[in-house]
Amino acid sequence: MSGSQLPVERFDANARDALGDPVLRGALRRATDLFGERRRAAIDDVGADDFEALRDHARAIKDATLAHLDVHLERFVAQAEARGAKVHWARTGDEACELLAGLCAGAGAKTVVKSKSMTTEEIELGAALEAHGLRSIETDLGEWIIQQAGEVPSHIIVPAIHKTKAQIAALFADKLGTDPEADEKALTAAARDVLRREFAAAEVGISGVNFAVAETGSILILENEGNARFTTSLPKVHIAVMGIEKVVPRFEDLAVFLKLLPRSGTGQHLTSYQSILTGPKQDPSADGPEELHIVVLDNGRSRFLDQAVTRASLACIRCGACLNACPVYQQVGGHAYGSVYPGPIGAVITPQLVGVGKASQLPYASSLCGACREVCPVRIDIPALLLHLRQEVTEGHEPSGSPFGAQRRPAKRGERLGFRLWSFGVRGRLRYEWGSALARFGQRLVVRGGYVGKVGALLSRLAPPLGAWTGTRDLRGLAPRSFRARWRQELRHQELRRQGLTPSGGER
Ligand code: SF4
């Protein structure tokens, strides 16, 4: 499967292609199973009851913060600036990219090292910096592999989850001249050699932010490889990019999220590194950047705040657990979603970011089994959000405040008519019984006439909504007799038995 960003409008076709790739499906199955097992073990360690209490606590913090997000953001900015950081606001991804390119130019940068950040992926910062003549080097191993392969990430915490070890060894052999049979240790060492040189050459480091603390103006960056620590401490200038939803009120709130995020995402008790930056370094002999810039990005997030149902998606801490648990993601992987945010939370966020009209297939990329809701550490009711977005799709609406109103597409008239007829039929007992009897009569004609195969084939070719249903599912026949008819017959038979008579069978 191609790793470049696939069109978000074509999820169904992208998914079909992915389903035909057994190597991809094998890699996904192994990785998501492993993360699922590790997550369960890490939760057992805390105790299930304590973990549930932590989830409640985390969600309460998020809800309280989102209810007064402006206040907490202003406090964060004031505290960060008081400690010497320079804070910049960006309304859109383009605005943020221009701002970042300007800051890099101001620092005289030719090479920029980046640590893993979904927010910078969202605004396509790497490509924007390259367009400004800068070398932008990903330093997270997974991201670096993806960059070398000319692909995009397929998971929010494991960007190269779709790649097998053999594919990575072949890529390294091609790009770095390593042994095609090299093991994981040798491959990691080869990447480290290259990346150490890039760290030494870079004038600017760019990172994302996991949490921003309003009380102290600090930012927290979590990682496992030490590359974010290098990114924030070796170059003289550091720029951190954060979405507006990353702020938490108090420093002590971090303790709650630090217990939840690694356990939910990778099944770790704690990530290997936690870097907290509170302003640039004050002591010249200390580690850390001489200049710290923080770019606070909206890029559509403030629209999510309008309604309680969509506001919930801003509680996401990007742990990736819902991707690992999702039976759809496990089969098709991340590229099929055509977005940097794949999986269940991607199916919620992407339509809100790019427009419900454009990403109209994503809210349907779910069986609504609820596995995502079960594992989400901040208890986001993703199935409810998907149903809300399906309603927006069916009614041809964009969420309120959305700039995508011009992309409104006509509502599916056939589907609406079908549901109106269905609603009319099932709201009256007689109508329902007559309708069912008519359908059974038609079914009998089809069966007796030996037309089952032909009618099934015809239905599978029908225009939506029938074709969409029968294209991927068997069309189940109606039961030969309705429940009400069987119930009435059973009552009659009981009555006959009470009178000492034998029901004249045949029909039972
Ligand atoms: S929705 Fe929940 S489970 Fe999914 S990435 Fe966000 S926090 Fe994690």
The pLDDT assigned to 441 comes to 85
The pLDDT assigned to 472 comes to 67
The pLDDT assigned to 3 comes to 47
The pLDDT assigned to 455 comes to 62
Q: Is the CB of 126 under 6 A from ligand 1?
A: no
- Flag whether pLDDT at 277 surpasses 70: yes
Of 394 and 272, more confident: 272
- Flag whether pLDDT at 506 surpasses 50: no
User: What percentage of the chain has pLDDT greater than the value 90?
Assistant: 75
User: What percentage of the chain has pLDDT greater than the value 70?
Assistant: 89
Beta-sheet pairing, 111-114 with 86-90:
unpaired
* 99 alpha carbon – ligand 1 mean position (Å): 29
Atom of ligand 1 nearest to the CA of 343: 4
Tell me the best of 339, 366, 380, 385 to mutate to test the pocket of ligand 1, counting ligand atoms within 8 Å of each CB and taking the most: 380
Average pLDDT over residues 63-87: 98
The pLDDT assigned to 414 comes to 73
Band (pLDDT 50/70/90 cuts) for residue 439 is confident
Instruction: Give the residue whose CA is nearest to atom 8 of ligand 1.
Output: 319
Q: Tell me the per-residue pLDDT of 130-178, one tens digit each, with 9 for 90 and over.
A: 999 999 999 999 999 999 999 999 999 999 999 999 999 999 999 999 9
- Flag whether pLDDT at 492 surpasses 90: yes
* 118 alpha carbon – ligand 1 mean position (Å): 13
Tokens of 43: 């939760």
* 329 alpha carbon – ligand 1 mean position (Å): 13
Q: Is the CB of 376 under 6 A from ligand 1?
A: yes
The pLDDT assigned to 456 comes to 57
Tracing tokens 């040798």 back to the chain, one arrives at 186
Note every long-range contact of 36-45, with CB atoms under 8 Å and residues 24 or more positions apart, other chains counting. 36/324, 36/325, 37/267, 38/266, 38/267, 38/268, 39/263, 39/264, 39/265, 39/266, 39/267, 39/321, 39/324, 39/375, 40/267, 41/267, 42/262, 42/263, 42/267, 42/268, 42/269, 43/263, 45/269
Cα(90)–Cα(241) distance, integer angstroms: 10
* 196 alpha carbon – ligand 1 mean position (Å): 32
Task: Specify the length of the chain in residues.
Answer: 508
* 421 alpha carbon – ligand 1 mean position (Å): 38
The pLDDT assigned to 475 comes to 67
- Let me know: does 242 contact 210? Beta carbons within 8 Å: no
Instruction: Give the residue whose CA is nearest to atom 4 of ligand 1.
Output: 322
Query: What 8-state DSSP symbol labels residue 364?
Result: G
Q: Tell me the per-residue pLDDT of 449-475, one tens digit each, with 9 for 90 and over.
A: 655 556 655 655 555 556 666 666 666
Q: Is the CB of 125 under 6 A from ligand 1?
A: no
- Flag whether pLDDT at 440 surpasses 90: no
H-helix or E-strand spanning residue 276:
strand 273-277
Q: Is the CB of 325 under 6 A from ligand 1?
A: no
Tokens of 441: 């009569």
Q: Tell me the per-residue pLDDT of 190-248, one tens digit each, with 9 for 90 and over.
A: 999 999 999 999 999 999 999 999 999 999 999 999 999 999 999 999 999 999 999 99
Average pLDDT over residues 396-409: 58
Exposed, middle or buried by CB within 10 Å (0-12, 13-18, 19+), for 398?
A: buried
- Flag whether pLDDT at 21 surpasses 80: yes
Domains of the chain: 52-303 (3.40.50.10420), 430-477 (no CATH)
Q: Mean pLDDT highest for which of 40-54, 215-229, 477-491?
A: 215-229
- Flag whether pLDDT at 507 surpasses 80: no
Average pLDDT over residues 477-505: 85
Which of 317, 381, 319 has the alpha carbon at shortest distance from 62?
317
The pLDDT assigned to 45 comes to 86
* 361 alpha carbon – ligand 1 mean position (Å): 20
Under the phi-then-psi rule, with left for phi > 0, alpha for psi from -120 to 50, and beta for the rest, what region is 338?
Answer: left
Average pLDDT, the chain: 90
Tracing tokens 């979904």 back to the chain, one arrives at 118
For residue 446, give every residue at least 6 positions away whose Cβ sits within 8 Å of its Cβ, in sequence order, or none.
Answer: 452, 455
The pLDDT assigned to 148 comes to 96
Under the phi-then-psi rule, with left for phi > 0, alpha for psi from -120 to 50, and beta for the rest, what region is 135?
Answer: beta
